[in-house]
Amino acid sequence: MSAVPGFKVAAVQMVSTHKVEQNLEVAGALVAQAAAQGAALVALPEYFCIMGMNERDKVAAGETDGDGPIQAFLSDTAARHGVWLVGGSVPLASSSAGKVRNSCLVYDAQGRRAARYDKIHLFGLDLGEERFDEANTIEPGGEPLAIETPFGRIALSLCYDLRFPELYRSLGPVDLILVPSAFTAATGRAHWETLLRARAIENLAWVVAPAQGGTHPSGRRTHGHSMVVDPWGAIRGCLREGPGVVMVRVDPTLQRTLRASLPALEHRKIAVQDADAPPLELGRSRRNVP
């Protein structure tokens, strides 16, 4: 899996506010805490830099790709502590007026940006009193992404992406799956743990899921339960609520042993559907579609 014989990963949980500077201060302190405990890879949650009073606040805080205080913070913090740092998500300028890209940015231990992934699946929910429609303010990405790192091959994703297993399968075998998130309290209670453990089990991969966890100034409640799950689906660390750090040592030997014992990835018989092909009708296989 990795050139590193074992490493510590930190999933940072936050209860971000609508004030970017305040959030960066809290994030900086939590990254420092993780680094002091020996973390080599530190992941911040989705919207770590801003959880607005309304959905348009993140648009107002949007930055040009490669320039802005949020991106400078991530680069400087990674270099200062000598860690690989995952900026859960940063609002970056898009081609659509009034919208941003929800972008997961990864920086190496020298503070150089190693990757950018733009969230593909946009959350929509209507439970009557609780409604969300990310498509109103976010322009979706279109390219799944996995990156090579000293810790193995890492799949990048964000929050609602977790519900779409084909995203991860389209990337081929990966060693670790990152899922920075801000799950709502309602959907989190129902599905968060189940989805994380399923993605770990079916891909025989470690899953690292830093999350927002608490009540935000807007009144919105997020589920928390930042979590690290091993390739067998066992929860190795979890923080229920409030700001803090989930620290877990990742053992590459465990993954190699499990994949040798249960080579499920080699037993696959059905390829991932071509993203450009028309959707399948219920009960019909791809070969029967004209």
Q: What residues are labeled active site?
A: 46, 119, 159
Contact (Cβ atoms closer than 8 angstroms) between residue 226 and residue 209? yes
Residues near 129 by Cβ (< 8 Å), separated by ≥ 6? none
Encoding tokens for residue 200? 């770990």
Do residues 207 and 196 touch, judged by C-beta distance below 8 A? yes
Q: How far apart are CA 222 and CA 240, in angstroms?
A: 11
What is the SS3 assignment for 86?
strand
Tokens read off for 263: 């080579």
Helix (H) or strand (E) holding 107: strand 100-107
Residue with tokens 């322009």: 139
Q: Measure the CA–CA gap between 173 and 223, rounded to whole angstroms.
A: 29
Dihedral of alpha carbons 236, 230, 178, 163, sign: negative
Strand partners, 177: 155, 207
In angstroms, the first-to-last Cα distance of the chain is: 41
